[in-house]
Amino acid sequence: MSFAEAAEWFAFVILAVISVAGALGMATTMSMFRSGIFLMASFIGVAGLFVLLSADLLGLLQVMMYIGGMLVMILFMVLFSHDPGGSMMADMDMSLIERFFSLGLSSSPDKEGMDMERHGHDGMDMGGQGGHDPMDMGGQGGMDMSMTTPVKRWAAALSVTLGGGLVALLLLRPAWPTTDTTPNPESARMIGELLMSKYMMAFEGAGLLILIGIFGAVLVARPGAYPDRDARDAYVTRDLPPAPIDEDPPPSADAHVPPEALEEVTVSGAHRDEAGGPPPQNETGQAASESLDRDS
């Protein structure tokens, strides 16, 4: 085996491990943020495999798409979840894989929350036979913290069967009619020419699909999707998560904010849930364009 072949195998093994371990970590870690990052790692690993397969434009395109996409998705995941950092869940009793992918998340020595959590966990394990009773979870309402459905074991069995079956099928039929020709190195030019000739309708169709996507997303999520101002305020207040997890803001954090910077804090960055209520809105337009003029 030559050095180049060994290097290719080395790169392949590293990238394959990143992509599979990333997907596994996404499904099993306790931290919402981590699961988004693990998924991104999985996508970057697959992008590396694309590059290894000589599809470099496609691989980089996937990296660009999913770094932006996953960072945005994590914003929403953090908004929707009760314990996005996973530091509370990380103290629970977990299976081996879950523990491995949640390593380094929490170290709090006190295990007071354990009993309550274990209760939820038992319910989860026993509900394994299909039809999951909504009363079981409904009674606890928002207190039910578990991230997985009661059919978790069945899902694991199914996915192991499916993955194992597919791998077995692949190993049973290892011979595919392959060729040794190498692709044209100017992949961007080849793709561009195909997009402009044979796949022009697909290109415009993708544009139309993106447009419909924008229409749908804006229509559903826009701030004005409420009947009137009062209804909107009601929703926005309800939009706040049930209870902030850290009650006490650090005294030092507020002390050193100069008064003129306070307004800046409320219109920028993330809104703390302690701030409460709808934050002020910017008046649109002219200030932004003025600064552009000065800048250019």
Segment 181-210, which members bind another protein (CB under 8 A)? 181-196, 198-200, 202-204, 206-210
| Least distance in angstroms from the C-beta of 113 to another protein | 14
CA dist 152 to 36, 110, 227, 239, 283, Å? 20, 28, 40, 30, 49
233 belongs to the binding site for another protein (CB under 8 A): no
Nearest residue to 117 (alpha-carbon basis) of 93, 84, 96? 93
Contacts for 286-294: CB closer than 8 Å, 24+ residues apart:
none
What token pair was written down for 149?
A: 């459905």
Question: Do the beta carbons of residue 48 and residue 70 sit within 8 Å?
Answer: no
How many amino acids of this chain bind another protein (CB under 8 A)? 184
Place of tokens 């530091």: 87
129 belongs to the binding site for another protein (CB under 8 A): no
| Least distance in angstroms from the C-beta of 50 to another protein | 6
Over the window 266 to 295, marking each residue x when it contacts another protein by CB under 8 A and - when it does not, the resulting string is -xxxxxxx----xx-xx-xx-xxx-xx-xx
Nearest residue to 78 (alpha-carbon basis) of 266, 253, 241? 241
Binding another protein (rule: CB under 8 A), the pick from 130, 131, 227, 250 is 250
| Least distance in angstroms from the C-beta of 119 to another protein | 17
Over the window 146 to 165, marking each residue x when it contacts another protein by CB under 8 A and - when it does not, the resulting string is xxxx-xx-xxx-xxx-xxx-
Handedness of CA 288, 290, 294, 296 (dihedral sign): positive
CA-to-CA distance for 202 and 196, rounded, in angstroms? 10
Q: Which is nearer to another protein, 67 or 126 (CB)?
A: 67
26 belongs to the binding site for another protein (CB under 8 A): yes
CA-to-CA distance for 238 and 163, rounded, in angstroms? 42
| Least distance in angstroms from the C-beta of 18 to another protein | 10
37 belongs to the binding site for another protein (CB under 8 A): yes
231 belongs to the binding site for another protein (CB under 8 A): no
227 belongs to the binding site for another protein (CB under 8 A): no
| Least distance in angstroms from the C-beta of 71 to another protein | 5
Question: Do the beta carbons of residue 114 and residue 94 sit within 8 Å?
Answer: no
CA-to-CA distance for 191 and 187, rounded, in angstroms? 6
| Least distance in angstroms from the C-beta of 260 to another protein | 10
143 belongs to the binding site for another protein (CB under 8 A): no
Backbone angles phi, psi at 149, to 5 degrees: -80, 160
Q: Which residues contact 285 (CB under 8 A, 6 or more apart)?
A: none
Over the window 107 to 126, marking each residue x when it contacts another protein by CB under 8 A and - when it does not, the resulting string is xx------------------
255 belongs to the binding site for another protein (CB under 8 A): no
- Residues 60-99 within binding reach of another protein (CB under 8 A): 60-65, 67-69, 71-87
| Least distance in angstroms from the C-beta of 141 to another protein | 9
